Structure 1
Amino acid sequence: MFQSYKPNKKGNFEPESTWSLKSKMILLITLLILGIFILFTWFLHSFISNTIEDQVGKRALSVAKSVANIPEIRSAFELKDPASVIQETVAPILEETGAEFIVVGNQEGIRYSHPNSERIGEKMIGGDNTRALQNGEAYISQSEGSLGLSIRGKVPVRDNAGNIIGVVSVGFLSEDVQSIIANQSKSLWLTMIGIIVLGIAGAILIAYHIKKLLFNMEPKDISYLLLQKEAILQSTHEGMIAVNHNGMIIMMNKAAKQILFHEDKQFDQFSGKSINQLIPNTGLSEVLKSGKSQYDKEMILGNSIVIVNQVPVYMEGKIAGAVSTFRKKTEIEHVTRELQQIKQYANAQRAQTHEFSNSLYTILGLLQLGEHKEAIDFIKKKRNIQEEQSQILTQHAADPVVQGLLQGKINQANELGVTISIHPDSQLNHTYHGNKQEALITGIGNMLENALESVKDNQEGEQQISLFFTDIGDDIVVEVDDSGQGVSEEAAVHIFEQGYSTKGEENRGIGLALTQNIVQKQGGQIMLEEGEMGGACFVMIIPKNGGDSDE
């Protein structure tokens, strides 16, 4: 785990005491639940209170209307002592409805009925009879009377002619209403407290789960690791590409973009795109399907030859994606070409050593037999052949490196029983340097090597290779024709693809792809044509001007 630090008064750094992510999540989720609880409970309490008060008011108004429409109540107003009849009529209704009071008064507000009989004949208290007595309205009001604050239903009493003769007031004390509200809210509070407890328990479980998913790391630790990862990815010279299990790009560092596209593009241009559409033939799809890693694989990405390592990424036993790392072979390309040339020279030296050893044994045998004249003639013949070959190469190629390569290939062919003939019109009048020379040497060497591989397997026909080259015009043209089995139409489509080989062997199919890449960098091309000798004919064209610099 990473520890965060803060400076103290002396300027030194000491550990900073901070809450853990788990504690913060529990606290914040708990505060959120409490906040929602308070707001929701306040809303529900207010809603229940208003609803109950409204229901009580409507109930009071309903009872008041019923009392006001009782015929005995109406007719009692015409008697000398209305209270005697009205009080007896209202008393059972009061007991049945559970109202706190039912008061019937005349137009002056004098009571004809009251729960306390001693208050009959007194003026009604509250001052809220005006709308009923003057306007004839039936309504609900809240006012304080002789029994306390109450919710009242007010209804005017009319005679048979419709004239207002009194008022009925039915009321429920606010204390009783609040008691009902408290009883109703009790279950609400219990439910909400239960929800809070469950919410806190859920917050703890969520915090533990998220902490586990984050490998018990704190946010600052994750931020530091992300910054560290980004710094490592962007500072490394190796290109890196990561894809998910569907082959969609999820990460590409700066080096990868420069290798593939030779410019610094934004990652948003590639994020979420299929690796096969953006960069075909990377092999990442094979890694995702098979789950097998690929190491030190040589391939061409963009316009560069790279060495690629590709590994699958597993999560919970399943392939979650794959990562490809590759390095541009700017230096390695040069070393690789030099190694190929050294290999070609080594093969040539081996052939020369073998041939020289045979010649020595022949001379030794002749001397032991006393055939001194034949031995001398044999030596002269070998010297003449060597001088003739050197003279031919010198006449046809001005570049000593090309001469050395051709000499080695001719010796290698002689050892294999293959004849390499140089066309009499062949001529390289210029000496080339740098990238031009490397492209020329690599192309000639790989084309002759392929021709030797093809011809040596042809045991039935003649084993011959014809070589033609010229730089008389604006281009360097090299043509290699052989008497081998040739290339089928099906194979011709893929012959320049990296990794493809007519031999069907692993770790082959690099030479022609490498040659094509190097030649194209010089603005040239290599083509496969139908040969005159029955086999394959490869033609390489390299412009003398253009392409990469020779220096």
Structure 2
Amino acid sequence: MENFESNRNKRQLTCPNVSFQFSLKLKMILLFSLLIIGIFIIFGLFLRSFISATMEDQIGKRALGVAKSVANTPEIREAFELENPARVIQQIVQPIQEATDAEFIVVGNEEGIRYSHPDPDRLGEKMVGGDNDRALNKGESYISKSTGSLGRSIRGKVPIYDNHNNVIGLVSVGFLNNDVQSIIQNQSKSLWFTLLGIVLLGIVGAIFISHYIKRLLSNMEPEEINHLLLQKEAILQSTHEGIIAVDHNGLITMMNTAAQKTLFDKQIQNAAYMGKPVKDLLPHSNIYDVLTYGERHYDKEMILGNDVVLVNRTPIYHERAITGAVSTFRSKTEVEHVTKELLQIKQYANAQRAQTHEFSNKLYIILGLLQLNQIQEAIDFIKKENNIQQEWSRFLLENVSDPTIHGLLQGKFNQANELGITMFIQPASQLTYPLTGSKKDALLTGLGNLLENAIEAVNVQNRSQREISIFFTDIGEDIVIEIDDSGPGMKGEGNIFEQGYSTKIGLHRGTGLVLTRLQLRKVGGEIMLEDGELGGACFIIIIPKEAENENE
């Protein structure tokens, strides 16, 4: 973690395009706060408008209700028949006005002359406001807003009927608009205080959310994340090794171009592999062992697509939990030339070691015969061994034209001789057809693997039963090689050419035969298994002489 923070600080100093005038945390707090404030301003204005409309509607209905009560009062109707209605109606209306907190209750006749008013001096005057026609002419009850002698007010207008259902006057009950607005402002204060508290709570929440998101991003800024993303993508795509990443469920989350070309021989769309199970693409990758047990695998040889690759696998940890795995692989053909050279050196070294060991044993035999004064037996022994070596070498020189194949057979013969294994070549064998390029590589790979397998197979047998027979011929259109051994055989082993399958105990097994078949098939050849005449396994390699779409 310290290294990560140190590298992040270095990136901040060395990345000229990154501006940190405002950090991501501060930006998120400001943006969240502005969003919350904006939402609550709009919401507050809406509520204030709603409260204002509601209060005006309620007060209008209240004024209309009071006006209806006054208009339906029998004493009011009877007072209209008196010579001085104002004297009676004023006394009736004044207590009602005080009880209902109305700003005014005005009763007027059909001509709009006041019979009651909060100001007695205005009795007998005509009602003002210009909103009485609907009540006097049409007999409607309604709410209106108008400016009267006391100012702008919300009014309830109700007509007064006589016993014959004729309009004889009207009642106007009003509440001043200033009083209504005062009530609305008092109600709005509590609303704005509540909204302010919610805004403050939202800002505090924004601070905590910003802190949490910043911590999830390893305290990195968006510019840094973008820079690292571009850098990672460039590294992944420019890396010559194939890289595949999976999540904890084994679903593919990333695959670079090198991996796509290895698996599909071309670059493909992300949708073709993103979210797909890795076992569909890498059935023998053992990636689930990495996800389950956290195992790391290094330089595991396996077949991918049409190539032999070396695979590395490692788990991805987050807070001590496995969240995925990464598998990298590179084509073995990249190091094939070096591998071949090392293989040849190893073969020559084994041959030299075997010859040295065998020569040392024979010298002790000769020394023992001389010490026993068995001079003739010593001479016969020397002639016999010399004849065997000369016959083997002469046969290879006469019947095998390629020095590399010659050297391989010579080395395996000496290795077998050291282990007490009888290795012989059928007299009718010959291999003089010149092979080059991939066909020669396929033959060397197949011949070396099969001879090594045969030596291991017969080495567990009794010394008297250790035999390996070799036959090869280039007569006809194909080169045919047979390796027959006296080992336990492979009856019923139908999976010997599958990746990872092996009848031997130990790690890193089950690759040789798969590799052999893969290289042979690349040049149009094949490998087969039959029952051998020596009681063990008999492998047959067939390579066509004519080229079939191969790169020499």
Give the TM-score range, shorter chain: over 0.9
Matched, 1:176 2:153: no
> Which residue type is aligned with residue 254 of structure 1?
T
Matched, 1:248 2:251: yes
Matched, 1:390 2:393: yes
Decide whether the 8 Å contact of 2:28 with 2:210 is kept in 1: yes
> Which residue type is aligned with residue 180 of structure 1?
I
Structure 2 residue aligned with 1:148: 151
Task: Describe the superposition over 1:251-297 as per-residue Cα deviations: whole angstroms up to 9, x where unpaired.
Answer: 11112212222212223321111111122112221101111211222
Give the RMSD, CA atoms, in angstroms.
2.2
Give unpaired runs (5+ residues) of structure 2.
1-8
Matched, 1:92 2:95: yes
Matched, 1:207 2:210: yes
1:74-473 matched pairs, under 5 angstroms: 74-367=77-370, 371-459=374-462, 462-473=465-476
- 1:512, distance to aligned residue in structure 2 (A): 1.8
* Identical amino acids, percent of aligned pairs: 63
1:22 is aligned, of 25, 31, 37, to 25
Structure 2 residue aligned with 1:500: 501
- 1:422, distance to aligned residue in structure 2 (A): 2.3
CA distance in 1, matches of 2:96, 2:204: 53
- 1:429, distance to aligned residue in structure 2 (A): 3.0
Decide whether the 8 Å contact of 1:433 with 1:550 is kept in 2: no
Matched, 1:51 2:54: yes
Decide whether the 8 Å contact of 1:241 with 1:252 is kept in 2: yes
- 1:536, distance to aligned residue in structure 2 (A): 1.5
Q: Tell me, what secondary structure is at the counterpart of 2:196?
A: helix
Task: Describe the superposition over 1:287-321 as per-residue Cα deviations: whole angstroms up to 9, x where unpaired.
Answer: 01111211222222222222222111111111011
Q: After alignment, is 92-101 or 128-137 more displaced?
A: 92-101
- 1:29, distance to aligned residue in structure 2 (A): 1.1
> Which residue type is aligned with residue 304 of structure 1?
D
CA distance in 1, matches of 2:181, 2:464: 116
Q: After alignment, is 382-391 or 211-220 more displaced?
A: 382-391
Q: Tell me, what secondary structure is at the counterpart of 1:300?
A: strand
- 1:106, distance to aligned residue in structure 2 (A): 0.9
Decide whether the 8 Å contact of 1:436 with 1:550 is kept in 2: no
Q: After alignment, is 47-56 or 428-437 more displaced?
A: 428-437
Q: Tell me, what secondary structure is at the counterpart of 1:157?
A: strand
Structure 1 residue aligned with 2:3: none
CA distance in 1, matches of 2:515, 2:248: 31
Q: After alignment, is 447-456 or 539-548 more displaced?
A: 539-548
> Which residue type is aligned with residue 202 of structure 1?
G
Task: Describe the superposition over 1:445-491 as per-residue Cα deviations: whole angstroms up to 9, x where unpaired.
Answer: 111111111112122872222222222233222221222111252xx
> Which residue type is aligned with residue 531 of structure 2?
E
Decide whether the 8 Å contact of 1:528 with 1:538 is kept in 2: yes
1:54-69 matched pairs, under 5 angstroms: 54-69=57-72
Give unpaired runs (5+ residues) of structure 1.
7-12
CA distance in 2, matches of 1:518, 1:96: 109
CA distance in 2, matches of 1:530, 1:376: 42
CA distance in 2, matches of 1:244, 1:384: 66
Q: After alignment, is 396-405 or 314-323 more displaced?
A: 396-405
Q: After alignment, is 245-254 or 351-360 more displaced?
A: 351-360
Structure 2 residue aligned with 1:511: 512
Q: After alignment, is 198-207 or 468-477 more displaced?
A: 468-477
> Which residue type is aligned with residue 256 of structure 1?
A
Structure 2 residue aligned with 1:10: none
Decide whether the 8 Å contact of 2:421 with 2:463 is kept in 1: no
CA distance in 1, matches of 2:533, 2:96: 127
Decide whether the 8 Å contact of 1:109 with 1:166 is kept in 2: yes
> Which residue type is aligned with residue 439 of structure 1?
A
> Which residue type is aligned with residue 440 of structure 2?
Q
Q: After alignment, is 458-467 or 86-95 more displaced?
A: 458-467
Q: After alignment, is 363-372 or 99-108 more displaced?
A: 363-372
Structure 2 residue aligned with 1:533: 534
**Cα 1:401–1:16 shift into 2, 3 Å:** closer
**Cα 1:14–1:385 shift into 2, 3 Å:** closer
1:474 is aligned, of 454, 467, 477, to 477
CA distance in 1, matches of 2:465, 2:17: 85
CA distance in 1, matches of 2:418, 2:237: 52
1:36-47 matched pairs, under 5 angstroms: 36-47=39-50
> Which residue type is aligned with residue 12 of structure 2?
Q
Structure 2 residue aligned with 1:3: 12
- 1:395, distance to aligned residue in structure 2 (A): 4.2
Structure 2-normalised TM-score? 0.93
Matched, 1:524 2:525: yes
Structure 2 residue aligned with 1:9: none
> Which residue type is aligned with residue 384 of structure 2?
K
- 1:374, distance to aligned residue in structure 2 (A): 4.2
Q: Tell me, what secondary structure is at the counterpart of 1:211?
A: helix
CA distance in 1, matches of 2:277, 2:302: 19
Instruction: Count matched residues.
Output: 543
- 1:548, distance to aligned residue in structure 2 (A): 6.2
Structure 1-normalised TM-score? 0.93
CA distance in 1, matches of 2:66, 2:281: 83
CA distance in 1, matches of 2:302, 2:366: 50
Q: Tell me, what secondary structure is at the counterpart of 2:465?
A: coil
Q: Tell me, what secondary structure is at the counterpart of 2:106?
A: strand
> Which residue type is aligned with residue 344 of structure 2?
Q
- 1:424, distance to aligned residue in structure 2 (A): 3.5
Structure 1 residue aligned with 2:36: 33
Q: Tell me, what secondary structure is at the counterpart of 2:86?
A: helix
- 1:198, distance to aligned residue in structure 2 (A): 0.6
Task: Describe the superposition over 1:26-53 as per-residue Cα deviations: whole angstroms up to 9, x where unpaired.
Answer: 1111111111111000000000000000
Q: After alignment, is 402-411 or 237-246 more displaced?
A: 402-411
Task: Describe the superposition over 1:340-370 as per-residue Cα deviations: whole angstroms up to 9, x where unpaired.
Answer: 3333333232222222223333444445555
CA distance in 1, matches of 2:152, 2:128: 11
- 1:394, distance to aligned residue in structure 2 (A): 3.6
